[in-house]
Amino acid sequence: MKEQQNILFVIGTRPEAIKLAPLIRAFKTDKFFNVQVCLTAQHRELLDVVIDFFEIEVDYDLDLMTNNQSSLGFISKAIVALEKVVEDTKPDILVVQGDTSTVLVGSLVAFYKQVKVAHIEAGLRSYDLKAPFPEEMNRLLTSSLSNYHFAPTQSAVNNLKAERIEQNVHLVGNTVIDALQFATLKLEQEKFNFVDEFKAIDFDKRIILVSCHRRESFGKPLQDICKALNELAIKFSDIQIVMLIHPNPQVLVGIEQNIDSDKIKLIQPLNYPKLVWMMKHSFLIMTDSGGIQEEAPSLGKPVLVLREVTERKEGVEVGTAKLVGMSMTKIIYEATALLTDDNLYSEMSRLINPYGDGQSSKRILSILKQQQ
């Protein structure tokens, strides 16, 4: 075992920051690792708030985000920039999380620089290269380049084994639950309350929180989702639908053209502490976000997944989530069932989370330390 290992965490988006933050905090407590953090800032919005909330010190901020950047344009810039960081830091291990363009770049640069790759949240699969796009391709390539595979669930482990990836595969749970537990405790201890900030929202009603941003939803699918929400707002006078507006221009235009803003509250994307707070105060969540699918069960919130396929099947299997796709009819039917059937709601809101127990970061730290 070496006296000390250099470990570089590479972060591009807010979800990556959320899921890597508790891991970085854990590694910082162990002097065996010299920890450095690099941001590509693939998504600048709200990323800094997460870094500040979790009190993470950033060593390199590449600040690569530009307006309306293409994925390939970002990837080409990020490869060149990250290569310089790797040459400077000389990491023994480079850590990436999930399936973004930053993850692909990190694993590629590490491979070419002969640095070991640790992939957090490895093994998720939809088996459809078009959904999610390009994330399914990103994680397939990253798995083929990684040296350590930290899988969140047994299903993810099985997916890797099916691809003949069996060495250094570890079932550790999902670090998003570590992050959520940290966040909820901090919100309670520091007495965060955002009611005054959201005066336009009627919290005396049952809140339905909606988040929709994936490419598969662009166009008619998003139109149908909006029409379903409009119908539900008319059908139930005791609900308040709150829809997060994603900054992607195609999402913005689709929502503005199809949503009834007199009945549905449209709000800007929430930073992480506000999002956790809003989820806690919601009755039901509709989303195509992977992270929210994982977090909501720990808060006892039923989830209707606005996707045709999901790589997070465990929530569906245990009954805390339901895959409803983007059909107007099905969304209305399943939401109505939860709003009118107390028994069904009680079953789906059980505090059962198949994604983790809040100890994932400690497990990963222990495994990587033992294997050096």
- What pLDDT score was predicted for residue 343? 95
State yes or no: is 188 an active-site residue: no
Same domain, 322 and 217: yes
State yes or no: is 43 an active-site residue: no
Same domain, 339 and 262: yes
- What pLDDT score was predicted for residue 287? 93
Least confident of 51-55, 211-215, 267-271, 366-370: 211-215
In a domain, 180, yes or no: no
> Which residue in the list 16, 125, 135, 334 is annotated as catalytic?
135
pLDDT greater than 80 at residue 44: no
96 backbone φψ class: left, alpha, beta (φ>0; ψ -120 to 50)? beta
> Which residue in the list 43, 119, 149, 246 is annotated as catalytic?
246
Partners of residue 117 on adjacent β-strands: 94
State yes or no: is 99 an active-site residue: yes
Judged by DSSP in three states, 3 sits in coil
> Which residue in the list 83, 215, 260, 308 is annotated as catalytic?
215
In a domain, 189, yes or no: no
- What pLDDT score was predicted for residue 252? 63
Segments forming the whole domain that contains residue 237? 196-348
State yes or no: is 63 an active-site residue: no
Domains in the chain: how many in total?
A: 2
> Which residue in the list 43, 119, 139, 213 is annotated as catalytic?
213
In a domain, 184, yes or no: no
What is the C-alpha to C-alpha distance for residues 233 and 94, in angstroms, rounded to an integer?
A: 47
pLDDT greater than 60 at residue 117: yes
In a domain, 106, yes or no: yes
- What pLDDT score was predicted for residue 268? 86
What is the C-alpha to C-alpha distance for residues 152 and 32, in angstroms, rounded to an integer?
A: 25
Same domain, 152 and 59: yes
In a domain, 186, yes or no: no
Single-letter residue type at 206: R
- What pLDDT score was predicted for residue 107? 98
In CATH, what number is assigned to the domain containing residue 238?
3.40.50.2000
- What pLDDT score was predicted for residue 254? 67
Same domain, 165 and 59: yes
In a domain, 213, yes or no: yes
- What pLDDT score was predicted for residue 1? 54
Same domain, 27 and 156: yes
215 — pLDDT class (breaks 50, 70, 90): low
Same domain, 95 and 206: no
> Which residue in the list 16, 99, 136, 216 is annotated as catalytic?
99
What is the C-alpha to C-alpha distance for residues 136 and 215, in angstroms, rounded to an integer?
A: 13
What is the C-alpha to C-alpha distance for residues 361 and 176, in angstroms, rounded to an integer?
A: 10
- What pLDDT score was predicted for residue 177? 94
User: What is the share, in percent, of the chain residues with pLDDT greater than 70?
Assistant: 96
In a domain, 181, yes or no: no
Single-letter residue type at 134: P
Residue 67: partners with Cβ closer than 8 Å, 6 or more residues away: none
43 — pLDDT class (breaks 50, 70, 90): confident
Q: Residue 151: enclosing H or E segment and its boundaries?
A: strand 148-151
pTM of the model: 0.85
> Which residue in the list 16, 121, 311, 314 is annotated as catalytic?
121
pLDDT greater than 80 at residue 251: no
Same domain, 91 and 223: no
Same domain, 216 and 87: no
Residue 161: partners with Cβ closer than 8 Å, 6 or more residues away: 169
Least confident of 31-35, 82-86, 315-319, 334-338: 315-319
Same domain, 25 and 154: yes
User: What is the share, in percent, of the chain residues with pLDDT greater than 90?
Assistant: 68
Same domain, 75 and 168: yes
What is the C-alpha to C-alpha distance for residues 135 and 31, in angstroms, rounded to an integer?
A: 34
Same domain, 155 and 294: no
365 — pLDDT class (breaks 50, 70, 90): very high
Exposure b/e, 198-230, CB count within 10 A at least 16 = b:
beebeeeebbbbbbbbbbbbeeebbbbbbbbbb
Tokens representing 180 are 């959520």
State yes or no: is 135 an active-site residue: yes
- What pLDDT score was predicted for residue 234? 95
Q: DSSP for 271-318?
A: PHHHHHHHHHT-SEEEE--HHHHHHGGGGT--EEE-SS--S-HHHHHH
What is the C-alpha to C-alpha distance for residues 296 and 310, in angstroms, rounded to an integer?
A: 15
pLDDT in tens, 260-273: 878 899 888 888 89
355 — pLDDT class (breaks 50, 70, 90): confident
Same domain, 21 and 159: yes
In a domain, 190, yes or no: no
State yes or no: is 213 an active-site residue: yes
